[in-house]
Amino acid sequence: MLVARDLTKEYRVGDRTLTVLRDVSFSIPQGAFVAVVGPSGSGKTTLLGLLAGLDTPSRGTVLLDDADFGALDEDQRARLRGAKVGFVFQSFQLIPTLTAIENVQVPLELRGDARPAERARELLARVGLADRLHHFPTELSGGEQQRVAIARAFSNDPRILFADEPTGNLDSDTGQRIVELLEQLNRESGATIVLVTHDSALAARAGRVIRLSDGAVVQDSAPMVGAAS
């Protein structure tokens, strides 16, 4: 389970304090599919970074399976992320000089996996890229690059996958296929998926929508088809 308690994130800008998130609290059970929506500047990406342990809050607590990110040093947070967290970025973040299979192998090799090439091949086949293993990112479409990124994010069998605008750089048809893939992986693996999106159609497919405005939760409910994000 993922728990956020009174999360607040502030930055000093000159002689004033900018509050990006204020007193955000919720819990997400294992296996849920959650969309975080809201206008630009509402704090969505900041919240995702805090939940994933990539950043630390000014105040408040994030618990992942009862482990308190705030009570851990950076090395311990990195180990917890490596064991339980996957992250998919809007910009894919693939290494351009490595092929698809090599990009997926990197985290497996860093973890000391006994069969990184075989595992990477299995993951790429799972996302429909069995015939694109040895292609470089520049030889792949945007949707294919995002599928490589998803395969890489699932390389550690994460308990929870965070996705920041995973369809933001894709056309609508390709974005739809990426969402369907995330739904499939959610069903098959039981991993919790928390994604940030501005796409109301994508949010409507989630089992739960958390809506932010001015850094605060203003709605937390099942999605409404056609609702603006």
As a residue count, the chain comes to: 229
Indicate whether 6 belongs to any domain.
no
pLDDT tens-digit profile, the chain (229 residues): 899 999 999 998 888 999 999 999 999 999 999 999 998 889 999 999 999 988 999 999 999 998 998 888 889 988 898 889 988 887 888 999 999 999 999 988 888 888 999 999 999 998 889 999 999 999 999 989 988 998 998 888 889 999 998 888 888 888 888 888 888 888 888 899 999 988 877 888 888 999 999 999 999 986 554 444 4
Q: Which helix (H) or strand (E) holds 219?
A: strand 216-221
pTM of the model: 0.85
Candidates 54, 46, 63; CA nearest to 11 is: 46
Task: Output the pLDDT for position 23.
Answer: 95
Indicate whether 14 belongs to any domain.
no
Q: Which residues contact 165 (CB under 8 A, 6 or more apart)?
A: 90, 195, 196, 197, 198
Evaluate whether 21 touches 50 at the Cβ level (below 8 Å). yes
Indicate whether 67 belongs to any domain.
no
Task: Output the pLDDT for position 225.
Answer: 47
Indicate whether 11 belongs to any domain.
no
Indicate whether 147 belongs to any domain.
yes
Candidates 92, 94, 104, 88; CA nearest to 194 is: 88
Indicate whether 77 belongs to any domain.
no
Indicate whether 66 belongs to any domain.
no
Q: Read off the CATH number of the domain in which 207 is found.
A: 3.40.50.300
Q: Which helix (H) or strand (E) holds 35?
A: strand 33-37
Overall domain count for the chain: 1
Candidates 192, 186, 166, 196; CA nearest to 178 is: 166
Q: What share of the chain is helix, strand, coil (3-state, %, to 5)?
A: 35, 30, 35
Indicate whether 72 belongs to any domain.
no
Give the ranges where 17-128 is alpha helix by DSSP (H): 44-51, 74-84, 100-110, 116-126
Task: Output the pLDDT for position 25.
Answer: 95
Range of the domain at 214: 30-56+83-221
